[in-house]
Structure 1
């Protein structure tokens, strides 16, 4: 599919960069799906597969971008790279929508949003509070940071994490660089942001073939714990919602996501995906997953 490199400015003057996908033949302004990746992940990490599938099977544009401070996107001046603040990332989704609406080849009244894992939570928030959104696709989402944090972190490790947060705040206040923590580690007893075996396998594989870096700031973990994106899930309605949940998800636990889905109002659709958190991105499950998502887009954004 034709793909162009794009960039746009956020409301706080950060330059975000990504790709814009178009169907092969375009004769009129088309709907657009805005897409960003999850916790520390880059657009190269299988988002191109989804965008290519959607734009080749539907009359649909796709805007894919790197989150601020990651990949090809800039950080805010004076702020560290690899820092994940949910309020910034949800605001950036809305700024990406504004960029899409500014293009003459996009139908500004038909904008959808797609997110996975951490950004799967973001799209629930944005879909509720930004009424320009006409369809929400939420894949293996983080829906409750507090509950998720306490599933991932052993209770006897929590005091050490609290001390780490406090020490980092004091160090930054004293003008020292932001503390960092690995995203993944082979040793589950060492501190990391995503301490599951499938996270280690997924990210280390991509580290060998992309410019992904195995670090986030300590503040990112504290911000994750306090984030509750499903607080607004009942406000997404009447915008159509598709929630894709993996049946054996240990990173964003299945039962927590199902409970959040139960609080969403109609119209909504639940898709249970075989396997674990990362099994919908590629391999045998990708075809089934992308087909279900494409059909949802066909019915709710491209009709």
Structure 2
């Protein structure tokens, strides 16, 4: 196994992998999925392929590249993509059904490309996209070879204290829902904010940790807003309901001190999914598994070992 410490930005990366920017047509005419295509150098095609996307309101520029570079350096091809309402889009709407459809679109896309092995398609998700990986892995018709999740959303978010801001947030969600039914422009609220303010992710230290964990977002297309009705997308989504139907190998890296996605619910999913492997990191919070954070190396090492054991290059 290649040690994680060898994966760092350097000229060596250019020798071990190639990254190409591509646009994958979505099912909506004229809408594309902005994507990075990573190909390993020095490994014979067709390659096992890892499909990666971000969590709630996240875009690919937010620290997904280090993981993709690590996987590609070890011989795995990767597609890192943004959902059709994100990336270079300014729509900023979380629609779970559309996001799952976008994952399916990318799965179909990679299976049409000769450089990828159609029998070795791997799903990778973090936070909300971790829930998507669980949901799609349960669909046996997709013939997924394996799925990797870190701090996944399984349908249970940590509770926020009841407040006037919570009521105002729900009112904004209802207002936006009616606007979209009428074909009007979305009504936006902050995706994340301080505790006691209007917004979706208003957990303690959440805004500070996002700014600290993803400093590059100031130069990217990300802005801190989401349509109000996106709140309902989270409330009605329960990836854990399909966990018992999973038949492929599944890795769940659990941040035990996660204050966004309930870790006890994640551990229950790991018990339901047949053949699943869980790796618990006792002192890790939700953002501690990303590149540059305290437990990134432990999470990445567990992922690499899982991949090499279950879908070897």
* Cα distance, 1:157 vs structure 2: 5.4
Give 1:245's aligned residue.
254
- The aligned runs of 1:127-276 (5 Å cut-off) are 127-129=137-139, 130-144=141-155, 147-148=156-157, 151-152=159-160, 154=162, 159-185=167-193, 187-205=194-212, 206=215, 207-237=217-247, 239-265=248-274, 267-273=275-281, 274-276=283-285
Give 1:43's aligned residue.
60
Give 1:95's aligned residue.
105
Give 1:77's aligned residue.
none
The answer to whether residue 45 in structure 2 is matched with residue 28 in structure 1 is yes
Q: Is the 8 A contact 1:198 1:278 kept in 2?
A: no
Give 2:7's aligned residue.
none
Partner SS, residue 89 of structure 1? helix
Structure 1 residue runs without a partner (length 5+) = 75-79
* Cα distance, 1:153 vs structure 2: 5.5
Partner SS, residue 119 of structure 2? strand
* Cα distance, 1:290 vs structure 2: 0.8
- The aligned runs of 1:107-122 (5 Å cut-off) are 107-122=117-132
Q: Is the 8 A contact 2:172 2:229 kept in 1?
A: no
Alpha carbons of 1:31 and 1:174: their partners in 2 closer, same or farther (altered >3 Å)? closer
Cα distance in 1 between the residues matched to 2:107 and 2:161:
35
Alpha carbons of 1:188 and 1:60: their partners in 2 closer, same or farther (altered >3 Å)? same
Q: Is the 8 A contact 2:191 2:199 kept in 1?
A: yes
* Cα distance, 1:261 vs structure 2: 2.0
Partner SS, residue 59 of structure 2? coil
Structure 2 residue runs without a partner (length 5+) = 1-16
Cα distance in 2 between the residues matched to 1:153 and 1:142:
19
TM-score (norm 2): 0.87
Cα distance in 2 between the residues matched to 1:155 and 1:214:
21
Cα distance in 2 between the residues matched to 1:101 and 1:175:
36
Give 1:126's aligned residue.
136
Structure 2 residue aligned with 1:71, among 66, 71, 87? 87
* Cα distance, 1:162 vs structure 2: 3.7
* Cα distance, 1:264 vs structure 2: 1.7
Superposed CA RMSD: 1.9
